[in-house]
Amino acid sequence: MTAIRDEACIVGLGETEYRRWGGFQDRSELQLTCEAIQAAAADAGLDVDDIDGVVSYAMDRNDPAFLQDAMGLPNIRFASQAWGGGGAASCASLQHAVAAVQSGAAHYVAAFRGLCQGQSARYGKFNAARRGNNFLAPFGMFSPPIMMAPMIQRYMYEYGVKQEHLGEIALNARANAHRNPRAVMRDRPLTMETYLASRLIASPLRLYDCCQENDGACAVIVTTLERARDLKARPVRILAAAHMNTPGWGAGPVGTHNMPIEDYGAGNCASVAREVFGRAGVTPKDIDVAQIYDHFSGLVLMSLENFGFCGRGEAGDFVADGHIRWEGGDLPINTSGGHLSEAYMHGFNLILEGARQIRGESTSQVEGAEICLVTGGSGAPAPSAAILGV
Dihedral pair phi/psi, residue 338, rounded to 5°: 60, -165
* 293 included as an active-site residue: yes
Exposure of 308 by Cβ count < 10 A (0-12 exposed, 13-18 middle, 19+ buried)? Answer: middle
CA distance 50 to 294: 34
* Catalytic residue (choose from 18, 108, 264, 344): 344
Dihedral pair phi/psi, residue 80, rounded to 5°: -155, 165
* Alpha helices (H) in the chain, listed in sequence order: 29-44, 64-71, 90-103, 144-159, 163-177, 192-197, 225-228, 270-280, 297-306, 315-320, 348-359
Bridge pairing between strands 371-376 and 289-291: parallel
* Catalytic residue (choose from 18, 155, 195, 293): 293
Question: How many CA within 13 A on the CB side of residue 221?
Answer: 33
Q: Return the CA Rg of the chain.
A: 19
CB 109 within 8 A of CB 53: yes
Three-state SS at 221: strand
Question: How many CA within 13 A on the CB side of residue 122?
Answer: 16
Query: Is omega for the bond preceding 381 within 30 degrees of 0, making it cis?
Result: no
Active site amino acids: 293, 344
